C-alpha cells in the first residue's frame, strides 16, 4: 500500500496448520481475513486516493496452471513480457469489500484438487496462489500505480 509488493507463503508438512494459519475459522480469523480487513480499512481511510482492487486465484497441479475463479477450470498459458511472467486470460474480478474477497477464495477452494491421505481427509494435491491487485492513484491524477499482494 506504500508502493511495495508483498507475499505470504505457507510451507510445511500435511496437517501442520498451513490452511488454518492462512484461512482460520469463524472464531479465529486467519492471516487472509486479517490482511483483507486491514487492506479495505486502509482504502476506506484514504480521502485523497482512488483505488481499484482485483483478485485472482490460480492452482498449480501436475505442472499445469488452472484458474480457480473460472468454473470451467481451463488451463492457463504463461508468457514472459517486459514486466515479467504473465498469465494469459486469468480472471481478475474487481472486489470492493472483504466479503467479495472471501467469496472468491471459497469459490476457488470448491474446485481445488484435494484427496484423502493418512494424515488429512482433504489434503491438497496442488499449490495455489491467491493474488490481490491494488491499483491506486491520486484523486486528481489520471495514471496510477499497481501493487500486487501475491
The domain that holds 52 is classified in CATH as: 3.40.850.10
Q: What is the pLDDT of residue 94?
A: 97
Instruction: Check pLDDT > 80 for residue 48.
Output: yes
Q: With a threshold of 0.85, does the pTM exceed it?
A: no
Measured in residues, the chain has a length of 150
- Known binding site for ATP: residues? 12-19
Q: Other C-beta atoms within 10 Å of 133: how many?
A: 17
- Known binding site: residues? 12-19
Angstrom distance (rounded) from CA 30 to CA 18: 10
Is 143 inside any structural domain? yes
Instruction: Check pLDDT > 60 for residue 98.
Output: yes
Q: Which of 24, 43, 13 is nearest to 133 (CA)?
A: 43
Total count of domains within the chain: 1
Is 80 inside any structural domain? yes
Is 144 inside any structural domain? yes
Q: What is the pLDDT of residue 67?
A: 93
Is 109 inside any structural domain? yes
Is 1 inside any structural domain? no
Domain range for 75: 18-149
Q: H or E stretch including 60?
A: strand 49-61
Q: What is the pLDDT of residue 43?
A: 93
Is 3 inside any structural domain? no
Amino acid at each position: 500500500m506504500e508502493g511495495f509488493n508483498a507475499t505470504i507463503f505457507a510451507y510445511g508438512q500435511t496437517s501442520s496448520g498451513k490452511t488454518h494459519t492462512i484461512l482460520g475459522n469463524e472464531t479465529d480469523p486467519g492471516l487472509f481475513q486479517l490482511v483483507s480487513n486491514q487492506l479495505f480499512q486502509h482504502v476506506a481511510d484514504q480521502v485523497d486516493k482512488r483505488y481499484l482492487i482485483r483478485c485472482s486465484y490460480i492452482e498449480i497441479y501436475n505442472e499445469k496452471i488452472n484458474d480457480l475463479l473460472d468454473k470451467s477450470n481451463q488451463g492457463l498459458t504463461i508468457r514472459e513480457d517486459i514486466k515479467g511472467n504473465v498469465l494469459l486470460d486469468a480472471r481478475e474480478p474487481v472486489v470492493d469489500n472483504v466479503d467479495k474477497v472471501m467469496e472468491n477464495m471459497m469459490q476457488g477452494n470448491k474446485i481445488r484438487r484435494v484427496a484423502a491421505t493418512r494424515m488429512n481427509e482433504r489434503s491438497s494435491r496442488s499449490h495455489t496462489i491467491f493474488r490481490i491487485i491494488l491499483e491506486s492513484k491520486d484523486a486528481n491524477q489520471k495514471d496510477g500505480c499497481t501493487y500486487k499482494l501475491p
